[in-house]
Structure 1
């Protein structure tokens, strides 16, 4: 139920908890899973944790966000209850549609200091966009590739700072 990783800030082992995020039926069919599980770190508030992964399927949650959980004693896991606060990171998903486009996407993401995970099929990428990234420019570059039919893009959780750069309302995550 837990794993241990080193905390980037102090090199001490950090105990991570697995949190189950149950997926809506349509997403669950596409993902072939009823839930997506992510590592989360403890916070000072009881039953609130900080997400330590970028979701592939969960919408509205990004790396570093704080979420409230509840204990599911039957399944022996924590379950997502509600979103509490954002970290300033955004989560974007890319589906690779064309051969050889992965290198082009990789170059763009590195230029904007993003990190990402790639699923087992090598076609779905979960991208963490850090708060300092110029998301407007990054988005323009990715949309250019998407307009050529090489990738699909979904902005699954946009932080306030990235939304404001696009001229979008603050309230909608």
Structure 2
């Protein structure tokens, strides 16, 4: 569920959208589901993404998407992006408990970024994974510079989920 300021607090208003993934990719997942809210004025199968993806590339928080219904009322399958919401997404992978991460992350947070987190087991062992949301008013070049700096310092590995052109 979205816990950002101004985000929804009632899960009843949200549905899940499934995004198909390549199971042979680094994470080993065949799909990921994201929370979304109906955008009824745009059509019955149109939704606004309300969470940040951990694995799905090409999708951001607040993007408006078309999705296809399934046999479960609360689950849809992603079809296409209708409109970009202005946000960008990056994924960070790092060793749990590395105290240097919090210090470096603070600089990124101060620019306006937020994250959702989870633990994941990869070939290197257990890791913390951040799905980083970069709002449209943040300095994307500075965010990227700080992410790259953290990677060069050995704090984390990162990849771009989708960067919105500005």
TM-score over 0.5 for the alignment? yes
Dislocated runs of 4+, deviation >6 Å: 9-14
Please give the alpha-carbon distance, in whole angstroms, between the structure 2 residues aligned to 1:69 and 1:103: 36
1:58 to 56, 74, 93: 56
Give the equivalent residue in structure 1 for 2:15. Answer: 17
- Does the CA contact (< 8 Å) of 1:4 and 1:13 recur in 2? no
Cα shift at 1:52: 0.3
Structure 2 runs not aligned, ≥5 long: 121-126
Which is bigger in relative contact order (C-alpha 8 A, separation at least 6)? 2
CA offsets per residue over residues 44-80 of structure 1, 9 Å max, x none?
2221110000000000000000111001227962100
Give the equivalent residue in structure 1 for 2:93. Answer: 95
Give the equivalent residue in structure 1 for 2:83. Answer: 85
Structure 1 runs not aligned, ≥5 long: 162-173
Cα shift at 1:4: 10
Give the equivalent residue in structure 2 for 1:45. Answer: 42
2:134 pairs with 1:135: no
| CA gap 1:102/1:13 in 2 versus in 1, 3 angstroms | same
Q: TM-score scaled to structure 1, two decimals? A: 0.78
Q: TM-score scaled to structure 2, two decimals? A: 0.81
Q: Which moved more, 1:56-65 or 1:11-20?
A: 11-20
- Does the CA contact (< 8 Å) of 2:118 and 2:129 recur in 1? yes
Cα shift at 1:20: 0.8
RMSD: 2.9
Matched residues, number: 157
Q: Which moved more, 1:50-59 or 1:35-44?
A: 35-44
